[in-house]
Chains A and B, each alone.
Chain A
Amino acid sequence: ETGVTQSPTHLIKTRGQQVTLRCSSQSGHNTVSWYQQALGQGPQFIFQYYREEENGRGNFPPRFSGLQFPNYSSELNVNALELDDSALYLCASSTGGGETQYFGPGTRLLVL
Chain B
Amino acid sequence: RKEVEQDPGPFNVPEGATVAFNCTYSNSASQSFFWYRQDCRKEPKLLMSVYSSGNEDGRFTAQLNRASQYISLLIRDSKLSDSATYLCVVRGPTDKLIFGTGTRLQVFP
- Residues of chain A having any CB pair with chain B under 8 Å: 2, 31, 33, 35, 40-45, 48, 55-56, 58, 90, 92, 94, 96-98, 100-106, 108
- Residues of chain B having any CB pair with chain A under 8 Å: 4, 8, 31-32, 41-46, 87, 91, 94-102
- A42 CA / B32 CA spacing, docked (Å): 17
**A105 contacts B42, CB within 8 Å?**
yes
> Do A90 and B95 contact each other (CB < 8 Å), given the known contacts A42-B4, A42-B101?
no
- B36 to chain A: closest residue by CB: A103
Nearest CB in chain B: distance from A96 CB, A? 6
- Select which of B32, B41, B44, B101 is within 8 A of A103 by beta carbon: B44
> Do A103 and B45 contact each other (CB < 8 Å), given the known contacts A42-B102, A44-B99, A45-B98?
yes
**A42 contacts B99, CB within 8 Å?**
yes
Nearest CB in chain B: distance from A43 CB, A? 5
**B42 contacts A45, CB within 8 Å?**
no
- B89 to chain A: closest residue by CB: A42
- When distances are taken between beta carbons in the complex, the residues of chain A under 8 Å from B8 are 40
- B88 to chain A: closest residue by CB: A42
**B94 contacts A56, CB within 8 Å?**
yes
- A47 to chain B: closest residue by CB: B96
